[in-house]
Amino acid sequence: MPREEMEYFQSRAEAEIALAQQASHSRAVQAHYQLASAYLDMVHGETPVAEPNFLSR
Interval 4-55: pLDDT, tens: 999 999 999 999 999 999 999 999 999 999 999 999 998 988 776 655 455 4
The confidence score (pLDDT) of residue 52 equals: 47
Buried b (16+ CB within 10 A) or exposed e, 26-41: eeeebbbbbbbbbbbe
**Measured between alpha carbons, how far is 53 from 49 in angstroms, rounded to an integer?**
12
The confidence score (pLDDT) of residue 32 equals: 96
**Measured between alpha carbons, how far is 20 from 16 in angstroms, rounded to an integer?**
6
The total number of structural domains in the chain stands at 1
The confidence score (pLDDT) of residue 25 equals: 97
Range of the domain at 45: 3-56
